[in-house]
A and B are shown apart, each in its own frame.
Chain A
């Protein structure tokens, strides 16, 4: 118990920004549920999780290049491209649905891999490379789906965008009203999908040598190189992983909307919001500090802020202004540490 306490204290000391973000999320989400006429219900949680899923995946995607000290301006475009691909493939028999989902995720990963290869072997800045490849992704998306539409399996749409209970009921897995199932039946599927990807993909990656090299590159690329770390491999892997996360977002978006839409404006908005979510989660844009789970929290904060406009009466034309102010305030919380640095050199970290 004592050692756990110490470990927790150390963890909090080391990642104040992350715990600050978690605390902020818990507070604003609790207040939201208290103000909501049907707060603390599964229906509200399911709706919230649905709305958060795509941007949360995208925030995780953005995190990996940011940890390198770069930015990926193509994540929104890759999400759009993969959602258009999914709208072509994810229907039919269970086998073809599964095949379509795997193909969607693979195509996103491949696109990310391409980004990484261009960055590493072209010796180019990630921000410029991804600006260009993002335009390519949008072009491909428009080519695949010039007009919004496509088809996604209706059962899949209903099962994945609801609570576990509906998933079990839709696919007749077992009796959805079984007693042992009740304690978890209310959990929204998108939330589980997010956590599964975070736990099964992100955490093993972070613990691997490649993952730790990503952090090392962000902290001091020269030192990482001198230490003999696999720099090129880590960079390529980072962009490929970003592509994978973006594809998860695209797949979810396609399932959620039962269609694909090569919406250029939406792609741009999602890219920018993914950067905001990364910063809100406490990941440093300079690289080396933070993580995908922190960005997941950041994405949730970003969304919950906009939830408030639906329960509190604010003039519709003032809403963007207020959202911007709240966002600025939330990001500023992360800068509080500068007030307590002992040595000005710390500011450059």
Chain B
């Protein structure tokens, strides 16, 4: 019986595919929808347009690795955003799976969702290559595939990310401006780097160093490697302080809680600090900005998943979309920090604060994610 059913549906599928023309997005000229939110990566970024589909849509998230705070927060954000009034009516079905670091499993999951008739699939790719088959299948079935965060080396799909080079520049510029405001024209800057060999680490570091080089002041850059990890960062920053005595500013890419802790332990005077978006870092800025801890906090937000979902739905609605979307950097300086709004004194330190993207109408705040957490355990 199974065989018979199989034969039947195969015959149907064969007929179907024979009658179907090559679908997929058309390359069109810009500008795209909501340019403030879906900003094109560069001036030469292509624009894509899919055939308009009737909603509500079936959307799936295919995550790879799971097990660090960032990924867990990302999954919770995705679930919260699917329940958001702006999205709820547009999504008929919503599923999240994590495949681990297993390329066949991730490709298989994507293909399975295509087979199940899902309209959009949002994914963090486990590898920058190897998605040719699923891209082809997605195009054939008019499914919108949206990689974000770890994106693919291809221009055939719509992708969402933050501009890491720009992030580095913003960090550097902030520290420089604060130093200039204090009248400091030269000195020692501590740069805390991330995971070596990673393109994100490279781009951020290039951005930071570029700014100081351009300034013309006498800046001595001291680089340590913190692996974006609080513990490692705390250790290397403490070592750097022990060796160099005093820094005029600290520009770090991650593990910002570790930077703060190391400065505290060494009784290092507060200086301008640039860092990621950990809640603990923002708490410290808010508490000590009057004492000289002039801080800026920018992060690779787990909320990117919400932008990717929004972009997928927008594409399904037939809007013109940039092929590579540069999500606006979520920046908060000591001037803008407000308890309960962009940091939470009652929430843990390792929580990533930036989830909200006002230009996109994405406002999944920390407490919303915590609420999601509670409803999961029922």
Contacts and interface: CB of A to CB of B under 8 A. Distances in A.
Bound pair: A and B?
Answer: yes
A7 B126 CA distance: 48
A259 interface: yes
Interface stretch (A62-70, A123-131, A260-268, A341-349): A260-268
Interface in B57-107: 60-61, 63, 65-66, 72, 75, 79, 95-105, 107
A43 B115 contact: yes
B97 A319 contact: yes
A157 B132 contact: yes
A320 B63 CA distance: 13
B226 to A, nearest CB: 21
B97 A253 contact: no
Nearest to B61: A316
Contacts of B6: 40-42, 45, 186
Contacts of A185: 10, 14
Interface stretch (A201-209, A236-244, A307-315): A307-315
Contacts of A256: 103-104, 107, 130, 133
Given A38-B9, A149-B129, A157-B132, A47 B101 contact: no
Contacts of A149: 128-129, 153
A261 B115 contact: no
Given A30-B2, A261-B129, A50 B104 contact: yes
Contact of A320 (B66, B104, B131, B136): B66
B148 interface: no
B100 A317 contact: no
A158 interface: yes
Contact of A257 (B11, B97, B103): B103
Contact of B127 (A54, A259, A269): A259
A51 interface: yes
A51 B108 contact: yes
B111 interface: yes
B65 to A, nearest CB: 8
Contacts of A306: 99, 105
A266 B101 contact: yes
B55 interface: no
A55 B108 CA distance: 13
Contacts of B129: 148-150, 257-259, 261
B13 interface: yes
B9 A261 contact: no
B98 A50 contact: no
Contacts of A228: none
A336 B13 CA distance: 43
Interface in B119-149: 126-133, 136
- Chain B interface, >50% SS class: helix
Interface string A43-65: 11101101101110000000000
Contacts of B79: 316
Contact of B108 (A47, A177, A261, A320): A47
Most chain B beta carbons < 10 A, residue from A55, A158, A259: A259
Given A148-B127, A309-B97, A47 B112 contact: yes
B23 to A, nearest CB: 16
A307 B79 CA distance: 21
A313 B101 contact: no
A36 interface: yes
A122 interface: no
Interface string B319-336: 000000000000000000
A315 B75 CA distance: 10
B209 to A, nearest CB: 23
Contact of A47 (B11, B63, B66, B111): B111
A51 B115 contact: no
Given A43-B13, A315-B376, A316-B75, A154 B132 contact: yes
B109 interface: yes
B212 interface: no
Nearest to B373: A317
Contacts of A50: 104, 107-108, 111
Contacts of A161: 133
B7 interface: yes
Interface string B263-293: 0000000000000000000000000000000
Nearest to B18: A177
Contact of B5 (A40, A43, A265): A40
A53 B65 CA distance: 21
Given A54-B104, A266-B102, A258 B133 contact: yes
A66 B95 CA distance: 38
B187 interface: no
10 contacts: A30-B2, A42-B13, A44-B112, A55-B104, A148-B127, A182-B11, A256-B103, A259-B127, A310-B95, A317-B376
Given A30-B2, A186-B10, 16 more contacts: A37-B117, A42-B6, A42-B14, A43-B115, A51-B108, A149-B129, A185-B10, A253-B104, A256-B103, A256-B130, A259-B129, A263-B101, A306-B99, A309-B97, A316-B66, A317-B376
